[in-house]
Copies of this chain bind each other. A is one copy, B any other.
């Protein structure tokens, strides 16, 4: 399945911080066919470093989408039945307007003059995209990690537009530890002199700072167990310790490689803006309690978490479930057993596939 990204431009978007962004582009991909009544639309929401290329093989790069094991004919999000849409988030660097976009008023990239954005802003832009398709109600909104935050934001902000929501390995608000890990990443980027207060476009980007930030991220995405299985204390291309500061262990080599690769596909300023939006996200805000926040929701929920995920631990998903149940909302919860840590939602998909397939089928029946 060869797929192509599209870009749609909107005149402007109003942001939560009071600013207006004009114009605003959204990069997106679609898979499957929208039915006549437009009742089979599913919005897939990507995680922090994801993009609109969720499934199929990219016409441009030849690479599979980030959730290709979950989206396609016969897969969890079955494109023989459903029309699946995925867009790059506002503030991103993969086709949607973000800090690397040229500000038409100045002719220069926004850089740090880009307004600070929120999950609410990201979701508002997604709603504009859905409006352009004429889709009044989404059969489902689903995503893991930051994508799960957006699924929750959709269900609370646009209750009439969402039949079901599948937030995976996520939270209604970051804990101090989650904010702390994001802050370390931001500080690593801003400590790099090449960051230059965000003005590095057309020059040398803050590659070293961004690589360090990504290395921290990768540790948090894996579990102690999965790192042991994947690397253990194996040495890299040597029989004994080098007694120097070159790579000794395979895990060092992996982290350095992943850090350096990330620089080629991600913009450091987008890192700052998107992690800030995650840290700001708090579903309780303006509602007094999580249960009150869910008061207005009309969606069915399937909430999942992974046993070895210590970045978004199961207790955070269980808080969602408790609050929904306290308002008698329709919610199913499963903690999936996996060794893969937070990465599990991307890689350990067998049981996840069964769960989501069944949940979507029963939801789809109700709207037919």
Contacts and interface: CB of A to CB of B under 8 A. Distances in A.
Interface of A: 17, 112, 115-116, 173-177, 179-181, 183-184, 186-188, 190-193, 208-209, 211-212, 215-216, 218-219, 222, 224, 227-228, 230-233, 241, 243-245, 248-249, 251-252, 255-256, 259, 272, 276, 279-280, 282, 310, 313
A232 B176 contact: yes
A187 to B, nearest CB: 5
B215 A212 contact: no
B180 A251 contact: yes
A175 B230 CA distance: 11
Contact of A249 (B176, B193, B256): B176
A183 B280 contact: no
20 contacts: A116-B241, A116-B243, A176-B231, A176-B233, A177-B219, A179-B249, A180-B218, A180-B227, A180-B255, A183-B249, A184-B216, A186-B245, A187-B255, A187-B256, A187-B259, A188-B212, A191-B208, A216-B216, A249-B279, A310-B310
B245 A184 contact: no
A190 B211 CA distance: 12
A266 B24 CA distance: 47
Given A112-B245, A116-B244, A180-B255, A175 B216 contact: no
Nearest to A253: B183
B191 A192 contact: yes
Contacts of A191: 188, 192, 208-209, 211-212
Contact of A282 (B115, B181, B233, B276): B233
A112 B244 CA distance: 9
Contacts of A216: 184, 216
A181 B220 CA distance: 10
B251 A219 contact: no
A176 B228 contact: yes
Contact of A184 (B112, B192, B233, B255): B255
Contact of A180 (B17, B175, B177, B219): B219
Contacts of A222: 177
Given A175-B228, A180-B215, A183-B251, 5 more contacts: A180-B251, A183-B215, A193-B193, A248-B279, A249-B279
A227 B175 CA distance: 8
Contacts of A175: 224, 227-228, 233
A173 B279 CA distance: 35
